[in-house]
Structure 1
Amino acid sequence: MESEGILNELSRDSKHSLFYSISKKHFSNLNRLKNKLKDFYAKLEIIEKQVEEQETEELCKQEYKMLKRIDVLEKKIEFEAISSIIFSALFLEAYIYDYGARRLGDNFIKEHIDKLDPMSKIVVITQLVLEKPFPKDRDIYGRLKSLIKSRNSLVHNKSHKIDLSKFKNYIEKRDVELIELIKEGLDAYETIYDFLQFMLEIDSNESFQINLLI
């Protein structure tokens, strides 16, 4: 019965619902800041055109002030995007472990599954529970792999030297990377939301209730 499934869900100690809520919050913040950044760049473009037409001290001050505001905003966006990715990945790992423990037993998951990488856990656990292969041809499979890849690139981030003689190229590259990071941050939460929908679709006995997490 559904009520029994919900009680089973609530009787377990897991952080996946908390991770989901945190990811959702950062996703919302990121969406809002992304739109704000777009507005700032539009204003900067207007100021830059005015400076080209007539370079006054006041216009130069406005341009500098807007550039500083953009710099601060971009740092906030990085924070929200990275947080969305990390907490989405944390949710994914916590949820699939809990799903397996509920359906296959805590000891089995701990002894035989826990050491696998996240994507292998998803594939192996769902296949064992449902007794059929995970549908790798579905869009969600590729999106989950992308989320895990984004998480890994952040967790295992490597520092590197900057060629100051090509600083302009570095700045342009940073702009491209920020655009990609924003996309990955937004995709992260949308991926775990769609993954929950997917789990409810492929497992009619799954007791997980999305509304409990919102």
Structure 2
Amino acid sequence: MADLFIIGRWAPKCEDFFDICTESYESFQKSKAELQKIKRRGITEAQDESVSVAAKMRHHSASTVVFAALCLEAFIYDYAAAYFTDTHARKYLQGIDFVSKWVVIPKLVTGKDFPTEGRAFEHLVKLRKARNDLVHYKSRPLPTNIKEWEELQAETEREDDANAVNAYQTVKEVLTELHKLEGRGKWNQWWRYSPTKKRAKTISKLRQV
């Protein structure tokens, strides 16, 4: 069975979304390293190449953010539906704000408070902002000179880096906090493994059923 078999759900989407998030994050890091190599070369001819790689970074960062948010949205819905019902989750819980779900639902299920003063919650709030900034994207005026262009490009690269790192880590941190609240020790913590290792563990688990 799937990793949420422990709470009676077949819920592959949250894992699928995290696989995509992970693969996007790894691609982002590769593009980042490639861009750093290009910049170290310090030649004008590499400008076009630099712009191309920076664009790849933006794409991979956006994908990391979106699929991290999708993963946590999918998981918290399935978590609620498993302990209550799909009807109850859709009627009373689905309309709650993304971040608020991670406060309300774990409290209803475990009777314990999700730590809103901790690192995981802080990063969850940042993930929501990054996701919303993409979904409700606002363009900026074009730079009027080379200096402004370089500053804007550098700022964009910093934002892409911060958002990608935060998104990837947030999934791990938030699910780990929930795992602690559950205190059952039965989840296999699939978010700790690479996509390939997770698939191998799932196949092994299916064979044992």
The TM-score range, normalised by the shorter chain, is: 0.7 to 0.9
Partner of residue 96, structure 1: 76
Q: Which residue of 1 aligns with 2:205?
A: none
Match of 2:68, SS state, is: helix
Which letter maps to 1:95?
A: F
> Which 10-residue stretch deviates more, 182-191 or 200-209?
200-209
Q: Offset at 1:137?
A: 1.6
Query: Where in structure 2 are there 5+ consecutive unaligned residues?
Result: 199-209
Cα 1:140/1:117, change in 2 over 3 Å: same
Match of 1:168 among 127, 136, 147: 147
Asked if the contact 2:68/2:167 (under 8 Å) is kept, the reply is yes
Q: Does 1:81 align with 2:61?
A: yes
Matched, 1:135 2:133: no
Q: CA RMSD in A?
A: 2.3
Structure-1 separation of matches of 2:173 and 2:82: 21
**Number of matched residues?**
193
Q: Which runs of 5+ in 1 are unaligned?
A: 48-62
Aligned to 1:179: 158
Which amino acid in 2 is paired with 1:90?
A: L
Residues 37 and 73, structure 1, Cα contact 8 Å, conserved in 2: yes
Q: Give the whole-Å Cα distance in 1 for the aligned partners of 2:5 and 2:112.
A: 27
Q: More displaced, 200-209 or 171-180?
A: 200-209
- The equivalent position to 1:158 in structure 2, one of 129, 138, 152, is 138
Once superposed, which parts of structure 1, at least 4 consecutive aligned residues long, lie more than 4 Å away?
3-6, 8-11
Q: Quote the offset at 1:107 in angstroms.
A: 1.5
Kindly, what percent of the aligned residue pairs are identical? Answer: 25
* TM-score (structure 2 length as normaliser): 0.83
CA distance in 1, matches of 2:180, 2:6: 19
1:130 and 1:136, CA in 2 relative to 1: closer, same or farther beyond 3 A? same
